[in-house]
């Protein structure tokens, strides 16, 4: 299982650098946040944010599918593991969606 977690984290961190900067900006500006599903969700409804969310989530979905195939797991299972890690690793000031579906800003 540790190998799987490392693969998931590496896949997330190896997203294209142009999107990573935009994703970082979206996180810092509070426009997007991490969810336990493994996908980012918009906190604002402008076109730029929506396009970012679609692009990031499309890339994540493809990576989760690849990891799931290689490890004989479900895509949703891989996404759930990634989501938990992404929420835990969110930086102070970034938003995450809790189990109750509400957004909160990380403080530590």
Q: Given pLDDT bands bounded at 50, 70 and 90, which one contains residue 74?
A: very high
More confident call, 68 vs 15: 68
Give the Å distances, CA to CA, from 94 to 12, 20, 28, 38, 88: 17, 15, 6, 15, 11
Phi, psi of 103 (to 5 degrees): -80, 145
Q: What is the pLDDT of residue 100?
A: 94
CA Rg value for the chain: 13
Q: Where are the alpha helices (DSSP H) in the chain?
A: 2-13, 17-28, 47-71, 75-89
Q: Is the pLDDT of residue 17 over 90?
A: no
Question: Can you give the pTM of this predicted structure?
Answer: 0.79
Q: What is the pLDDT of residue 14?
A: 54
More confident call, 27 vs 15: 27
Mean pLDDT, rounded, of the chain: 88
Q: Is the pLDDT of residue 7 over 70?
A: no
């Amino acid at each position: 299982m540790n190998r799987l977690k490392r693969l998931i984290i590496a896949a997330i961190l190896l997203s294209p650098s142009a999107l990573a900067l935009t994703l970082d900006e979206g996180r810092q500006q509070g426009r997007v946040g991490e969810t336990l599903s493994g996908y980012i969700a918009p906190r604002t409804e402008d076109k730029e944010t929506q396009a970012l969310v679609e692009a990031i989530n499309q890339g994540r979905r493809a990576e989760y599918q690849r990891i799931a195939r290689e490890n004989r797991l479900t895509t949703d299972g891989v996404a759930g593991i990634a989501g938990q890690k992404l929420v835990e690793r969110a930086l102070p000031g970034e938003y995450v969606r809790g189990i109750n579906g509400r957004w909160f800003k990380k403080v530590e």
